[in-house]
Amino acid sequence: MREHELEQRLGEALSDPAPPPRAVARVRSMMAGPVASAWASILERARALHATILLDTRAHPALVGFRAGVSEGFDVLAASEGRELFLHIRQRPGSAGFTVKGKVEGAPGAAGVCGIAFFEAGSASLVCDAHTDREGEFGAEVPAGRYDLAVGLDPPFLVPGLALE
Amino acid sequence: MTAPAPQAPELLADLVRLGVADTAQRIRAAGDPGPLLGAMADEAERQAISDPRRALDATEALVALADLLAIRSAQARARRARGQALAYANRFDEALAVLRDAQRIAGTDAPVEGARAGVAMIHALARLGRLREAAEVGEQAREALAGLGQPVLAARADVNLGVVHRMLDRPEVALACFDRALPALADAPTVAAQVHSNRGEALLDLCDFAAAERAFSDALGTFERAGANRAASIAEGNLADLLARQGRHGPALHHFERARMRLASEGAPGDAARLAIEQAEAQYTVGLLAAAGATYRAAIPVLEEHGMQAETARARAGFSRVLGLEGSLEEATRVAQRAAGDFTALGQPVAAARATLILGQLSIMAGARMEGRALVGGAMEGLRERPADLAAAHALLSADSLRAGDGAAAAGEAEAGLALARGVGLVHLEPTLRHARGMALRALGHSEEAADELELAASELGRLRGTIPTDRFRATFASSHGEVMSDALEALLGPRVPRGVARAFVVAQMGKSGSLLDALARHAGAPPPAEAAEEPSQELVRAHERLRALLARLQESGAGGPASAALRERIADAGREIEQVSARLAARAGYHEIAGAPASLEEVQAMLPRGWGAIEYVQVRAGFSAFVVLRGGAHAVPVGPVGPVEAALERLRFDVARVVARSAAGLPPGSPASAERSLSDLHDLVFSPLAPYLRGVEGLIVGPVGALHAVPFHSLRDADGYLGERLPIVQTPSASVMARLGERGRAAPGGRPLIVAVADDAAPGIEREAEALRATIPDAVVLTGQEATLSAVAHHAAGAPLVHFATHGAFTPGPAGASGLRLADGWLTAADAARLRVSGSVITLSGCDTGRVGWAGGDELTGLIRAFLGAGARAVLGTLWPIHDRTATEFLSRVYALWYADAGTGAAGLTKALQRARREFNAGGVHPAFWSPYFVVGAL
């Protein structure tokens, strides 16, 4: 069972959509191991399939085909075997962390419902994970760092070395 | 006063230049050195007023000269002059030591000189906070001089004594001293002017504002005529303080700035710091908390360093109020306690009571109600002769009673405060007290009377806003009083309020884009602000250059590149710097007490084209409401909470960002389904509640508020498609702004349209766009590539009926002037745009994010659209997000073709052309992210 699902069930059991923070913290701590363990096998498979970065707006002097379009954050577009990952990333005001909003497309045009995990780059250390909704969209708050981002579609793929710093 | 000696100024100058020995020889040769030394001391004291630095050098040498010549009375006299110079340089301890030395040397041989040294000590003792000692020393000296048959000198002692009594919170005693002194000083206009200035301060303490203003103005005029710059700066600072206390913000800030400029050239950091704390008090009143806090923080150490204890305590008291409103209650309490203690130790019970009042307020804010009310009650005892302070205390108690659910007590307190404020003409306190009374009446169920009172409070605030110079200050003021507007709206829209909707509509107008409305009123019938009183300022020029350079670097650094966030912060800083320098220049140049008149409901109904409707959104706390206005009626309709609208907008922005990224990567934009869902959600949130009232309308005017400025109203989507396909839609910051823009008329006939196009490798379509438009508008002036310089654009835009910019755009939220358009030789910033002569013109901004706005309290907008409308443009076409170069070229070429085929009939024609082009592009399967960002703001 995934961490957020357990939290949800905890909330239901307590008849409280926002369960007490201490209970949530305990659930997080209890589930950290199992979640990391579930992701370990996905990561191993994802390492075999690196996505191609189609666009990282940080690397471009200007958005080709647009009249400036310098946004408040930066965007990354990656693809692997017809599946696509789009990330819109903003630094959190007054913090070293980042707010990541993303969208996964499975088969072209279809929402990619799956898990997403941020691992410390080059390691199996899970920093945070998220799950897409029915539209393939997800959000995550991620500390500054360098990450291998695993997308849990079948087969899973990896966006390696994503720098959020 | 020693008899005039024409050679004294030269001798004094020579004394410093040539040294003591040479001058001693010359003086001995000239005869009796005593009178000559006295004349030199007189001259040195005159210098101490006008040039303290020079006086310090001169008196040091003079003391040495008198000692060398060993003439007892001259030694005492020289030391008195030295003491005065040191005191004027804020070196009070040294001054006291020298003056005591003068008294000792004078002894019984020169009793008048000894008494005069005593008079001189009053000032230094007072500035060191030893007030009772100062009063004793002064009284002794005054009696001695009167007894020695020296009425003029006794009058001078009275002047100083009056100052001390004022500092001891005895303004009536002080006034008596000044009045006793004046007749004997008729032959000394500068000294008399100083007395008038002091009288003004005592009168200010007694809340006799009219008499105080006369006294300060008289003193200022006399000092100016006498060239006494420093004394003039103090009088002008006092005048500014008086005006600020009355809530006359514009003239207050003007005089503060002038006083600051005068003091900048003087070596008197203590006085500058004193002026700064008075200015901080004015900033606090306007609501500029951050600026006031910074000013206090900077001034307190300077005041402490110069031993100005009373002023330091005053600064601490003021600072504690700022800290309290910023939420730092513990620190605020510590600082206020220290101020109260210091005032008590200085023997200033009224000032201590003021600090206690602040402590009471802080306790109430911290939830310790009973303790807070007890402190306030105690403070009111000490302030019973001070109506202004008492009025503020009543306002505080009224708000507290209301929070505690005691409406009757709240009403009583507010009424007591109002009576006091009215009695002494404190117009700036009246809205606060009326607001308190209105809320109390509402709590008591007197809906109609409550609505009347709250409406009046809102209206008075609108008028006060008009007295504040610069948009930035006005926005802050509006922001700090937003609650009054919200409460007035709620009360007027409540049950049993006659003409509630029409009256609430006017209140809503006061809370939206007030500074733009003021700007339009200020320039109505006058030339646009290009030449409006902005004196050349190297500081401002440098700030503009820095902003342009940063915008250029932002574009070069990449779309969201690693340095982008830091650069954006620096751009915002540069924008803020321009605002601050401009504010200072504006305050120095003068003040305009103009508040743009809000449009009435009837006026807006009359302005509506036949068959059209208008939506005026307002935000009341965390929810949106709207006025739906038709020619035959009007409705106030609740819309919904702000949060879900912001979330839907965030989703739309994400959808658009994804389309932009895919396009930039060379991929097709993908399915529009997600964007369509976001637009449908937004429709349900912001338009559906209003739709029943708008059935059958043929066109729509929309006045968004807050987050709604980012909503593409024309692209809101329901089961029948996009709203903008069915209706022409034009937006406006407020209905009043549209009404005033409409009154200004169109650009004068004879001007030629201007097309500005700056293409590059990233956006080559810009060049094609210019060519297409040139074909549609053959009489246009076309500036492309290197021709499109800042100066060429400014020149050709003047009087042009249409100015089309096709170029890169950049939006910076926050400071008003920091967004921009790229031209050949740099960025045309919003600050530059605000100075273009585009009165009555239609402006189209074919670049990325050119229609995005930032908003602050009072829904004051920033960004390019605000800048162009402020410059007098009749309407502006902008974009809500990045525009795709190729599609933009195709879309706008088509819009212009449709517009000009219809004879180019101004903004109304442009809006209809946009509607048709949107329909065509949507029918052609173009993703809405490409044709949705364009919208028109302004008058039809």
| pLDDT interval class at B530 (50, 70, 90) | very low
pLDDT of residue B527: 44
Q: Is B755 in a helix, a strand, or coil?
A: strand
User: Exposed, middle or buried, B409 (CB in 10 Å: 0-12/13-18/19+)?
Assistant: middle
Nearest-Cα residue of chain A relative to residue B667: A54
**Chain A residues lying within 8 Å of B554, measured CB to CB:** 70
User: Exposed, middle or buried, A95 (CB in 10 Å: 0-12/13-18/19+)?
Assistant: exposed
pLDDT of residue B566: 75
Q: Cβ separation of B762 and A73 shorter than 8 Å?
A: no
The CA distance from B820 to B812, in Å, is 8
Residue A24: count of CB within 10 angstroms of its CB: 16
User: Exposed, middle or buried, A165 (CB in 10 Å: 0-12/13-18/19+)?
Assistant: exposed
pLDDT of residue B904: 62
Contact in structure between B558 and A68 (CB atoms under 8 Å): no
Residues of chain B numbered 874-893 and touching chain A (CB < 8 Å): 882-886, 888
Which structure tokens are listed for B921?
């592009």
Residue to substitute from B848, B880, B892, interface A, most A β-carbons within 10 A: B848
The CA distance from B633 to B502, in Å, is 10
Between A65-74, B292-301, B555-564, B596-605, the lowest mean confidence (pLDDT) is in: B555-564
Q: Cβ separation of B558 and A58 shorter than 8 Å?
A: yes
Per-residue burial over B450-488, b = 16 or more CB atoms within 10 Å of its CB, e = otherwise: bbbbbbbbbbbbbebbbbbbbbbbbbbbbebbbebbbbb
H or E segment to which residue B698 belongs: none
The CA distance from B624 to B609, in Å, is 26
Which structure tokens are listed for B815?
């400071």
Question: Could you report the per-residue pLDDT of B770-814, keeping only the tens digit for each?
Answer: 999 999 999 999 999 999 999 999 999 999 999 999 999 989 887
Q: Cβ separation of B848 and A66 shorter than 8 Å?
A: yes
pLDDT of residue B585: 75
Question: Would you say residue B283 has pLDDT above 80?
Answer: yes
Mean pLDDT of B508-521: 88
Residue to substitute from B568, B658, B659, interface A, most A β-carbons within 10 A: B658
End-to-end CA distance of chain B: 74
For residue A155, cis peptide bond before it (omega within 30 degrees of 0): yes
Q: Cβ separation of B654 and A88 shorter than 8 Å?
A: yes
Question: Would you say residue B2 has pLDDT above 60?
Answer: no
pLDDT of residue B463: 83
B109-113, B537-541, B865-869 — most confident range: B865-869
Q: For residue B116, which of B160, B86, B52 has the smallest C-alpha distance? A: B160
**Chain A residues lying within 8 Å of B763, measured CB to CB:** 65-67
pLDDT of residue B317: 97
Mean pLDDT of B733-759: 91
Question: Would you say residue B188 has pLDDT above 90?
Answer: no
Question: Would you say residue B612 has pLDDT above 70?
Answer: yes
Q: What is the DSSP letter of B600?
A: P
| pLDDT interval class at B49 (50, 70, 90) | confident
User: Exposed, middle or buried, B525 (CB in 10 Å: 0-12/13-18/19+)?
Assistant: exposed
Nearest-Cα residue of chain B relative to residue A75: B661
**Chain B residues lying within 8 Å of A75, measured CB to CB:** 560, 657-658, 660-661
Q: Cβ separation of B555 and A103 shorter than 8 Å?
A: no
pLDDT of residue A11: 66
Between A97-101, B49-53, B104-108, the lowest mean confidence (pLDDT) is in: B49-53
Residues of chain B numbered 617-676 and touching chain A (CB < 8 Å): 654, 657-658, 660-667, 670-671, 674
Counting one residue from chain A and one from chain B, the pairs whose CB atoms sit within 8 A come to 137
Residue to substitute from A66, A67, A76, A104, interface B, most B β-carbons within 10 A: A67
pLDDT of residue B136: 94
The CA distance from B167 to B202, in Å, is 9
Which structure tokens are listed for B123?
């000032």
**Chain B residues lying within 8 Å of A64, measured CB to CB:** 664, 761-762
pLDDT of residue B266: 72
Can you name the residues that pair with A118 across neighbouring β-strands? A128, A149
pLDDT of residue A58: 85
Question: Would you say residue A71 has pLDDT above 70?
Answer: no
Task: Give CA separation, B741 vs B512, B537, B716, B859, in Å.
Answer: 15, 31, 26, 18
pLDDT of residue B175: 95
Residues 6+ apart with CB under 8 A from B518: B465, B466, B474, B594, B595, B596
Q: ipTM of this model?
A: 0.84
Residues of chain B numbered 780-819 and touching chain A (CB < 8 Å): 806-810
pLDDT of residue B687: 98
pLDDT of residue B109: 86
Mean pLDDT of B313-321: 97
Between B287-301, B581-595, B912-926, the lowest mean confidence (pLDDT) is in: B581-595
**Chain B residues lying within 8 Å of A65, measured CB to CB:** 663-664, 762-763, 884-886
Q: What is the DSSP letter of A68?
A: B
Residues 6+ apart with CB under 8 A from A134: A111, A113
pLDDT of residue B287: 85
pLDDT of residue B573: 83
Percent of chain B topping pLDDT 70 = 95
Between A133-142, B251-260, B343-352, B632-641, the lowest mean confidence (pLDDT) is in: B251-260
Mean pLDDT of B903-912: 80
Contact in structure between B469 and B488 (CB atoms under 8 Å): no
Residues 6+ apart with CB under 8 A from B915: B714, B724, B725, B727, B728, B729
Task: Give CA separation, B627 vs B499, B680, B705, in Å.
Answer: 14, 22, 12
**Chain B residues lying within 8 Å of A72, measured CB to CB:** 560, 568
Which structure tokens are listed for B414?
């507010």
Nearest to B559 among A70, A103, A137 (CB): A70
Q: Cβ separation of B882 and A68 shorter than 8 Å?
A: yes
Question: Would you say residue B590 has pLDDT above 90?
Answer: no
pLDDT of residue B111: 92
Q: Cβ separation of A67 and B886 shorter than 8 Å?
A: no
Q: Smallest CA–CA separation between B443 and chain A, in Å? A: 34
Residues of chain B numbered 550-569 and touching chain A (CB < 8 Å): 554-562, 564-565, 568
Contact in structure between B36 and B30 (CB atoms under 8 Å): yes
Mean pLDDT of A62-85: 85
Q: Where are the beta strands (DSSP E) in B370-410?
A: none
Alpha helices, DSSP H, located in B859-901 = 864-870, 885-901
pLDDT of residue A112: 80
Q: Cβ separation of A67 and B671 shorter than 8 Å?
A: no
Q: Smallest CA–CA separation between B48 and chain A, in Å? A: 50
Nearest to A58 among B561, B654, B665 (CB): B561
Q: For residue B129, which of B328, B298, B339 has the smallest C-alpha distance? A: B339
Nearest-Cα residue of chain B relative to residue A101: B654
Question: Would you say residue B4 has pLDDT above 70?
Answer: no
**Chain B residues lying within 8 Å of A63, measured CB to CB:** 559, 660, 664, 762, 882
Nearest to B848 among A67, A88, A137 (CB): A67
Mean pLDDT of B260-275: 81
Q: Cβ separation of B664 and A71 shorter than 8 Å?
A: no
The CA distance from B728 to B714, in Å, is 8
Residues 6+ apart with CB under 8 A from B296: B277, B280, B315, B316, B318, B319, B322
H or E segment to which residue B403 belongs: helix B387-403
The CA distance from B462 to B515, in Å, is 10
Nearest to B560 among A57, A101, A137 (CB): A57
Q: Give the rounded distance of the alpha carbon of B939 from its chain centre.
A: 28
Question: Would you say residue B330 has pLDDT above 70?
Answer: yes
The CA distance from A90 to A97, in Å, is 9
Q: Per CB distance under 8 Å, which residues of A are interface residues toward B?
A: 54-55, 57-77, 86, 88, 91, 101, 103, 109, 135, 137
The CA distance from A66 to A57, in Å, is 12
Residue B681 at interface with chain A, using a CB cutoff of 8 Å: no
- Find tokens 């024409």 and name the residue: B6
Question: Would you say residue A8 has pLDDT above 70?
Answer: no
- The torsion angles phi and psi of B787, rounded to 5 degrees, stand at -70, -20
pLDDT of residue B468: 77
Residue to substitute from A52, A58, A66, interface B, most B β-carbons within 10 A: A66
Q: Smallest CA–CA separation between B667 and chain A, in Å? A: 9
Question: Long-range CB contacts (< 8 A, 24+ apart) of B222-228?
Answer: B222/B189, B222/B190, B222/B192, B222/B193, B222/B196, B223/B190, B223/B193, B226/B189, B226/B190, B226/B193, B227/B50, B228/B49, B228/B50, B228/B190
Residue to substitute from A56, A58, A70, A164, interface B, most B β-carbons within 10 A: A70
Q: Cβ separation of B559 and A103 shorter than 8 Å?
A: no
Q: Is B784 in a helix, a strand, or coil?
A: strand
**Chain A residues lying within 8 Å of B758, measured CB to CB:** none
Question: Could you report the per-residue pLDDT of B433-450, keeping only the tens digit for each?
Answer: 999 999 999 999 999 999
Contact in structure between A90 and A164 (CB atoms under 8 Å): no
pLDDT of residue B902: 81
Q: Cβ separation of A75 and B568 shorter than 8 Å?
A: no
- Find tokens 């309490």 and name the residue: B333
**Chain A residues lying within 8 Å of B883, measured CB to CB:** 66-67, 69
Mean pLDDT of chain B: 90
Pairing of strands B842-846, B875-879: parallel
